[in-house]
């Protein structure tokens, strides 16, 4: 009988034996000795074997798994090496309890994790994203039938409408004056993006990452920076990813339009009015409030506190930023 070390198990209500069953499945399915299985988040696990460490990730269906395997392989073949690869340990896919699992190479974290707190890191992340777009621009013809086209205007309209529905709940925590102004900014942004959408449509499409949160940039032990997690990929102009990137980094830049306009990879988009209007849209606030209300987690003070901080404490700086944007648009 194969000897194993004790498992590091994270239990979940109603699924106390899930990791035990998964451990047994992997032991019987893989040509490796499984030493430890640790859950990182839903459907994502860290697997330690007698030969290596890898990430095990579950997908809803085989086509989603195949797309991720093919895309990451295509990225590396096209010269983008700053990401992970999938291992192929078995001839047939790993199917366990109606979910397909892929085995992903593990990038060991540097003790100094990547964040958006310093200008150096913000610029480094931006350049890696730019390199990703330069690579995926060449891959669009291959994947245009299997990766959806991004409709940012539609997505943001729906996000705004959902926030309007949720506004009464948000106003228990955030003054109505603030939420009303946030909605006004969003409506101005969407109207401007619609009017000048040729700025977006004239750009060469790329494969968009879709989730440029800091945790999807991994600093390895060798200090190299990697881009991971392509679950939300779509096809569209690179500026869509850049708008999200700006929204992520601006809180760490005190909402300074001047500082943002000097960043290589973003500065060239400051001549596109659609992009400037897009910077007005409070995507982060709408996204997080809509999510917490959908999950019925807004009764939890620990979950609500950072959202109140985002909406209220940064409001004055964000308002100054919006006015600067309006002045710049008028000047063009």
Query: Which pair of structure tokens corresponds to residue 157?
Result: 């309209």
Residue 16's pLDDT is what?
62
In what helix (H) or strand (E) does residue 170 lie, and over which residues does it extend?
helix 152-170
Taking the model in full, what pTM does it have?
A: 0.92
| Measured distance CA(130)–CA(144) in Å, rounded | 20
For residues 94 and 100, is the Cβ–Cβ distance under 8 A?
Answer: yes
Block means of pLDDT (10 residues each) for the chain, 332 residues, are 39 65 96 94 95 96 97 98 96 95 95 96 98 98 97 98 98 97 98 95 96 97 96 98 98 97 96 97 98 95 95 96 95 82
Residue 172's pLDDT is what?
96
Question: Which residues lie across from 227 on neighbouring strands?
Answer: 217
SS3 label, residue 83: coil
Question: Which residues lie across from 57 on neighbouring strands?
Answer: 44, 102
Comparing C-alpha atoms, which of 210, 178, 202, 242 is closest to residue 71? 210
- Find the helix packing angle between 119-136 and 238-249, rounded to 10°: 170
Domains, the chain, in order of start with CATH, read 18-105 (3.30.200.20), 119-331 (3.90.1200.10)
Residue 332's pLDDT is what?
79
Residue 1's pLDDT is what?
34
Number of neighbouring beta carbons within 10 Å of residue 90: 11
Residue 248's pLDDT is what?
97
| Measured distance CA(84)–CA(52) in Å, rounded | 14
């Amino acid at each position: 009988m194969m000897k194993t070390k004790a498992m590091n198990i994270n239990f979940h209500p109603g699924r106390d034996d899930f990791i035990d069953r998964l451990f047994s499945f992997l032991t019987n399915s893989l040509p490796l000795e499984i030493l430890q299985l640790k859950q990182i988040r839903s459907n994502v696990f860290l697997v330690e074997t007698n030969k290596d460490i890898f990430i095990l990730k579950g997908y809803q269906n085989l086509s989603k798994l195949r797309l991720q395997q093919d895309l990451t392989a295509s990225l590396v073949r096209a010269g983008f090496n700053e990401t992970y690869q999938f291992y192929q340990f078995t001839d047939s896919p790993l199917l366990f309890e109606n979910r397909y699992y892929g085995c992903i190479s593990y990038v060991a974290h540097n003790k100094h994790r990547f964040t958006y707190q310093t200008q150096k890191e913000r610029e480094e992340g931006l350049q890696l994203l730019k390199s990703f777009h330069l690579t995926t621009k060449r891959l669009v013809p291959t994947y245009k039938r299997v990766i959806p086209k991004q409709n940012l205007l539609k997505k943001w309209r729906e996000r705004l409408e959902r926030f309007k529905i949720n506004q009464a709940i948000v106003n228990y925590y955030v003054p109505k004056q603030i939420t009303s102004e946030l909605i006004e900014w969003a409506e101005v942004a969407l109207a401007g993006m619609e009017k000048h959408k040729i700025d977006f449509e004239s750009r060469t499409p790329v494969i968009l990452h879709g989730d440029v949160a800091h945790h999807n940039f991994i600093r390895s032990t060798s200090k190299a920076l990697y881009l991971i997690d392509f679950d939300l990929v779509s096809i569209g102009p690179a500026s869509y990813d850049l708008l999200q990137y700006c929204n992520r980094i601006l809180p760490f830049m005190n909402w300074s339009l001047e500082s943002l306009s000097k960043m290589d990879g973003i500065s060239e988009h400051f001549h596109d009015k659609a992009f400037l209007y897009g910077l007005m849209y409070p995507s982060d606030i709408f996204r997080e409030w809509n999510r917490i209300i959908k999950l019925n987690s807004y009764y939890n003070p620990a979950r609500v506190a950072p959202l109140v901080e985002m909406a209220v404490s940064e409001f004055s700086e964000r308002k100054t930023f919006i006015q600067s944007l309006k002045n710049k648009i008028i000047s063009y």
